[in-house]
Structure 1
């Protein structure tokens, strides 16, 4: 059984700051989610190792939070600890010809901007993806014909017992929205990206174009968790959903976007239950009308 007294004492002893009953709605792009029993702010690798030891000692399950942009957190919250990687985990540096060493807590936006300012091309596709590097690696995030597997050369992480390790090349097992980290308790700490030299002005033009396309086609003005479903083979989820007349379909405060049917938006007061019921209704309708089974891309957080 989880022993929070043991956890709190251990975290206090090693200087890892934490809060109790932290609302996860404040930490997700969907603005949905109940309180987490403990919310830990991790500043560096030493603090992360200490926190993992404390969690193991206290038998408290954990979840590593990125930017919270692809998550659906239960209304009842999370019975465990949420780890937010901050401080040195947000660092981005140039280490060689076209090589960036990036902390897993760094936002894709900050890494893209750094690459642009150093005239490095290859990461433009990620401009506008609202996630952290760690989350992007976890699911091999991608957009507009690009994906993380194209630019990542090595990833460092901690095993659940705190043992440091790294993977490179094919061992990263990147696939469509999956990687060697998917459905594991490994904690990604940093990654090396290999980019190519380019012209800063051309890189900026491409990034601006992709951002404008994103803003014109996606409901960025309302809280969402990005694309709800993975792309079914031979189809586009949004097109299938729209063809079934589901644009604007709502359950409580959750609604299929009128702008892009592949998104569910929080139009005000949506709950996790609302979203889950709407996802189920979409899946059932699309399967009945088209014979295609939609698989969620959104990550439902369970500890």
Structure 2
């Protein structure tokens, strides 16, 4: 049986929030498949004037290889978590399973291979659903704004970025947690870098190629496994055209982003061609790379100000 969350789960609040004069709350929610997720809440800015009951909640979902602290890494004037709190929003910051603040499970330990037996589909079906429900219940069933970066965008759109080859390599090597600083991972990446045609100065590209032009659930790599899990020999596709046409969507992408490349975003936009134009805002920043949307010192002006203006319209 996994232990209850300990004081180490409070690292985000203690080290990144309260030190700047913000109030911070620690919340935990258990998913239907047993993962215990940590959620940080910043209910007020440094000069709170609006009662909590009147504040609009915003849920921030981090990207791949990151956790919720990504929204708080810069100064209060440059980090979206602080900026939203100071603008009068009720800020909630999620931490997906397997990240530093969400390593607990009702029965499993991170040392168990079974703990890591999930894909990004489970993050959508279980983590996001449980987090939404928790925030909705604790904020008086108010309308909720959602902000996702990288993985968070995929989760929000219930989509899937194909990563079958890397995952299956890990499975057969007996490696279940991907730790970029781990010894096993270092050996694997070194071997990959020796392969012809692989540029290790741009290794992310080797892992993020979309080979079929579709957005599907996890592909187990053979018809038998797919049939067992999905009842069909190919994984089901997520239909982006089924996103409600009146759902407010604010999408921003960068010209130097090699993880969410321009071609992929344009593919998504084609799927959204019938979307209500008054509900869809699209921004393009030609010099922005993947992490700039949460790390750049000018993201406040180029990304966050337009985002908050969009919130106020919807």
TM-score computed with the length of structure 1 as normaliser: 0.31
Instruction: Say which structure is richer in strand.
Output: 1
Instruction: Say which structure is richer in helix.
Output: 2
